[in-house]
Amino acid sequence: MSDETKAAIRTFIVENFLFGDDSHPLPADLSLIDNDLIDSTGILELVGFLEERFGVQVADADIVPTNLDTIERIAGFIARKQAA
Amino acid sequence: MSSVRSFEAGDVDAVADLFQRLLRKTAEPANDDLKTYLRTLFIDFPAAEPDLRSRVHVRTDGSVSGFLGVLPVEMEFEGRRLKAANCGTFACDDREEDPFAGARLLRDVLAGPQDLSFTETSNDVSTDMWRSMRATVLGPHSLEWLRMIKPASFALKAAAGRLSALRLFNPLARAADAILCRRGEKQNWSHYIPLAGKADAFVDEAVSDAEFADLCRQFVRHFPLRPAWDTPVLETMLGHATRKALHGERIQHVVKTRTGKAVGLYLYYGNPGDIGRTVQIMAAPGQEAIVIDRLMRDAHARGLVAIRGRTQPTLLQAMIGKKCAFLHTSSTIVHSRDPALLDAMANGRVFLNGLAGEGWTRLIGDRFG
C-alpha cells in the first residue's frame, strides 16, 4: 500500500473529522472508532470519498471495522480492491 | 461477519424489542399487539413489493441489531409510474460495538431498485447520515406548525408532560384563558378566537374512510410528483389511522361549500384540554387557507388548547398571517438518482408527509396492548 494512499486518507480525515486541525498525531494504526473520530455518519462520508477518490466500489459487507477502522486498514482495503 | 438482509417474520420479536427500547424508550417488554402490528405493517402490507423490503442488520451470531422500516409507495410523475421507498422506523443497537450498522442499513436501502426514497421523521443523527448519502433535506416540509388556542392551558399541558402534578392547576389555567381570550377582536399569536371571515361560507362534516380516500386521490392530483394511491391501499392506511390512543379522538372531516362542493379535508387527533395533532390537510388549489381556518375553528370548538402538524410548502404559504409558530423537530429528506425527480422535490412540487409518510401508522401516537 502506498504512502500516497495513506496521505490522501489522512488528509480527508483531518479535513472532515478533525475540522482541519492537523496537529493531531493521527498515527496510521490509531482506531478511528475507539477515538470517536468516526461514526455512522462519518463512515458514509469516508466510503463516498474512497469510492470517488480511488475509483473502487465499496460493498455493504465491506463496511466493517476490519476494513475501515484505521488509516492502515483503509489503505490495505483500497490496495486489495484495486488489485482485485 | 455481520450483514444486512431483508426483514422476515422471524425477526419480529427482535425488532419489536429494538422499537420499545430505542424509539419508545421504555424498559417494558414488547407485547404481542406491537409484534403483530410490525408484521402487519412491514411484511403483510397490501402495497408490499418483493424487491422493496424493510432491512435488518444482523450480528455475526445471527441476532438482529438494527432495523430500517421501508414501506413501498407507488408514485407518479409526468405520466410515469415510480417506485418509492418510504423509510421510517430506524433503530440500531450497539452503537459502541458496531458503529457502522446504521450506515450499512441506510446505504443498503438507498441502493435499492426504487426511483426515490424519503423519510419524514429523521432525527438529527439520521439526517446527517442521509446527507452523507447526498440526500436533500426539504426545509419547507420539515417544520412543525403550532397554533396556540388557549395559552395558559397550553403552557400547563406542555409542562405537565414532565410533571404531572401540575394538572392540579388546570382550573386556574382555564380561568386565565377565559380572561386572555376575551381581549381584542384581532387574531393574536397567543390565543385563538374564531372571527367572522371567508371560512363562514364553508361547512365541515365527518366522512367515512371510503369518501375520505376518494377525496385524497382527488386533491393530490395537482401535485406533479405524488403518490398514486389506489383506493384499497388508501383505505387500509386510513384503517391503520383509526386509533391513536396517545393523541386522542380522531377527527376526519371534509370541508365543503354550502352547495356541497368539497374544497379540502383534514385529519387530526385530540381530546378537549389536549394539544391536537394533525396528520393531514389537503385542499383544492387556492383553498388551503380556508381549510386551515376550518380546522382551527373545529379544534377551538372541541376545546383543544393548541393544534399542531407538519408543514408542506402550500400549507406553509397559507399559514402566513394565521399566527402560527414554526419549529423543527424532525426532517423530511429525499434521495434519488434522477435529477428531474430531485428538482421536483426540492422545488415544492411533491406531495410528502402525513399520508405520504409515517403519520398514518399506529407507530406514531398509538398505544400497544
From the CB of residue B272, how many other CB atoms can be counted at a distance below 10 Å? 11
Measured between alpha carbons, how far is B149 from B188 in angstroms, rounded to an integer?
10
Q: Are residues B133 and B19 in the same domain?
A: yes
Q: Do B104 and A38 touch (CB under 8 A)?
A: no
Rounded CA gap, B353 and A4, in Å? 47
- Are B66 and B171 contained in the same domain? no
Three-state DSSP at B208 gives coil
- Same structural domain for residues B212 and B137? no
**Is B99's CB within 8 Å of A40's CB?**
yes
Q: What is the CATH number of the domain that holds A22?
A: 1.10.1200.10
Beta bridge partners, B68, equal B55, B90
Can you tell me the mean pLDDT for B213-233?
95
From B118, B141, B164, the end of a domain falls on: B141
Asked whether residue B132 falls in the same domain as residue B51, the answer is yes
**HSE, side-chain direction, 13 A CA sphere, residue A29:** 0
Question: Which one has a higher pLDDT value, B97 or B207?
Answer: B207
Shortest distance, CA A3 to any CA of chain B (angstroms): 26
Residues of A in Cβ contact (< 8 Å) with B101: 40
Residues spanned by the domain of B14: 3-141
The answer on B268 and B176 residing in a single domain is yes
Last residue within a domain, chosen from B121, B141, B161: B141
Same structural domain, B254 and B310: yes
Task: Judge if B91 and B118 occupy the same domain.
Answer: yes
How big is the CA angle at B108 (ends B102 and B113), to the nearest 5 degrees? 150
| Interface predicted TM-score (ipTM) of this complex, two decimals | 0.83
pLDDT in tens, B337-350: 999 999 999 999 99
Interface check A31 vs B, CB under 8 A: no
- pLDDT greater than 90 at residue B46: no
Q: B-contacting residues of A 38-57, CB under 8 Å?
A: 38-45, 47-48
Q: Is B1 on the interface with A (CB under 8 A)?
A: yes
pLDDT of residue B193 exceeding 90, the answer is no
* Band of pLDDT at residue B369, cut at 50, 70 and 90: confident
Q: What is the CATH number of the domain that holds B19?
A: 3.40.630.30
Nearest CA in chain B to A37: B99
Give the bridge partners for B250, in sequence order: B269
What's the pLDDT tens digit per position in B76-121? 999 999 999 999 899 998 766 778 999 999 999 999 999 999 999 9
The parts of chain A modelled with pLDDT lower than 50 are: none
**Residues B50 and B194 occupy one common structural domain:** no
On whether both B126 and B164 belong to a single domain, the answer is: no
User: In which domain, by residue range, is A55 found?
Assistant: 3-83
Q: Are residues B136 and B148 in the same domain?
A: no
Name the minimum distance, in Å, from the CA of A67 to any CA of chain B.
Answer: 12
- Whether B100 sits inside 8 A of A45 (CB atoms) is no
Report the number of distinct structural domains present in chain B.
Answer: 2
**Cβ contact (<8 Å) for A44 and B125?**
no
Regarding whether B209 and B300 lie in a shared domain, the answer is yes
First CA to last CA distance, chain A: 14
Clarify whether residues B130 and B157 are in a common domain: no
pLDDT at B158 over 90: no
For chain A, the domain total comes to: 1
Looking at the complex, report in whole angstroms how far the Cα of residue A22 sits from the nearest Cα belonging to chain B.
23
